[in-house]
Amino acid sequence: MMFTLPVLDIKSDPLDVLLAVIGYRLSMLADSDNEDVQKLLADRDVTIELASTESGIARYYRFDNGQFSQQSGHATEADLTITFKDSMTGVKLLTKGDLPSFMTAVQEGNLSIEGDYSLMMWFNKLAKHIVPAIPEEYKPYIQKAKPYAYKAQQFANHWIGVAKHKLGK
């Protein structure tokens, strides 16, 4: 069962949640003073759509000369469309974030790309700014926290399953 959070226009699908978060981060970057990001966004008038065939999820990002916006659904005209075979393939490829994985996925039929392929390279450069660099002194703490995050995720999944069962979903 999939539901939509109406205020945010985000579906409960993992790919749509990830795409919305990426969009939120891109809007923060577009408003930032980061010179590298501003150079990448300057003089760009581009729409990039990411979608999943299986789940019907689609979200597009609009870059308009330094301005950024995102929208749920399919773009009227996209300069680049990246369509994953299913949501989890999209999540795995986007979180891995390297171009060779995308090319392998295309060869294996797990991903299709339509439009201006050069935008893949441009978007990949922009994507490197999405995840802020973690200072070295914090990395040991993150490693220590990972097992707890995993346990919390398992706990949440268990109770989501119980709730779905009780609600008959």
> What is the per-residue pLDDT across 47-94, written as a single tens digit (0 to 9) for each?
999 999 988 889 999 999 989 999 999 999 999 999 999 988 988 888
Q: How confident is the model at residue 119 (pLDDT cuts 50, 70, 90)?
A: very high
9 burial type by CB count under 10 A (0-12 exposed, 13-18 middle, 19+ buried): middle
23 exposed, middle or buried (CB, 10 Å; 0-12, 13-18, 19+)?
buried
Rounded to 10 degrees, the C-alpha dihedral 67/71/73/75 comes to: -20
Tokens (6 digits) for 149: 């995050």
Cα separation, 117 vs 80, whole angstroms: 7
- Cβ–Cβ < 8 Å for 67, 37: no
Average pLDDT for residues 97-107, to the nearest whole number? 85
What is d(CA 169, CA 163) in angstroms, rounded to the nearest whole number? 9
Between 130 and 38, the more confident residue is 38
Sign of the torsion angle spanned by Cα atoms 109, 111, 112, 118: negative
pLDDT of residue 46: 96
Q: What are the pLDDT digits (tens) for 123-164? A: 888 888 887 655 566 556 556 665 665 666 666 666 777 777
pLDDT, position 149? 59
Chain CA centroid to CA 27, Å = 13
Sorting pLDDT into bands at 50, 70 and 90, what band is 17? Answer: confident
